[in-house]
Amino acid sequence: MYWLGPLLGGVLAGLLYDLVFAANASVDKAKAFFTQRDYDDAQFDQRGRRKTKEREAEPEAGQSLKEPAAV
């Protein structure tokens, strides 16, 4: 019985971190986690928004449109 508390606490801490405290946490990501059978964290960008074809073409924050010059 003593093992049940740490196991549930670990699962809850992992979910809380991924859905609330992570840099890409968002309401949309949390809804998808609890409602979609095929949830995949890779479907969301750094801001927690679901990736679309239009957004995949946009550079992420801090990235430039041009490739870095070869050295």
18-32 tens-digit pLDDT: 888 988 888 888 888
> For the segment 47-59, what is each residue's pLDDT rounded down to a tens digit?
888 887 665 555 5
Average pLDDT for the chain: 79
Pick left, alpha or beta for residue 59 (phi over 0 → left; psi -120 to 50 → alpha; otherwise beta). Answer: beta
pLDDT of residue 4: 93
At residue 41, φ and ψ (nearest 5 deg) are: -60, -25
The arithmetic mean of pLDDT across residues 27-54, rounded, is: 83
Residue indicated by tokens 């093992």:
3
pLDDT of residue 19: 87
pLDDT of residue 63: 57
